[in-house]
Amino acid sequence: MQPRSACHSSVDDAQLVREVLESRSGAPEALVQRLRCLARFLAALNARAGRPFDSHELSDLVQDSLVIVWRKLDRFRGPEGLDAWVLRIARFEFQNAIRKKARRSKLIGTLELAEDVSAPGDEASRWREQETLQQVLQELEPQAARTVHLKHYAGLTFEEIGARMGCSANTAKTRYYRSIERLASALESMDS
CATH of domain 116-191: 1.10.10.10
Percent of the chain with pLDDT over 70: 77
Contact in structure between 186 and 136 (CB atoms under 8 Å): yes
- pLDDT band at 43, cuts 50/70/90? very high
How many other β-carbons are positioned within 10 Å of the β-carbon of residue 96? Answer: 12
How many other β-carbons are positioned within 10 Å of the β-carbon of residue 31? Answer: 21
Domain ranges of the chain: 13-100, 116-191
Q: Is 111 exposed, middle or buried (0-12, 13-18, 19+ CB in 10 A)?
A: buried
**The domains spanning 13-100 and 116-191 adopt the same CATH topology:** no
Q: Where are the alpha helices (DSSP H) in 35-122?
A: 37-48, 55-72, 82-115
Give the mean model confidence (pLDDT) for residues 93-97. 90
Using the predicted structure, report yes or no on whether residue 1 has a pLDDT greater than 50.
Answer: no
Give the mean model confidence (pLDDT) for residues 125-153. 76
User: What pLDDT is attached to residue 121?
Assistant: 54
User: What pLDDT is attached to residue 166?
Assistant: 92
Selecting from 3.40.50.280, 1.10.1740.10, 3.60.21.10, 3.40.50.720, what CATH number does the domain 13-100 have? 1.10.1740.10
HSE-CB for 150 with a 13 A CA cutoff: 22
pTM as predicted? 0.53
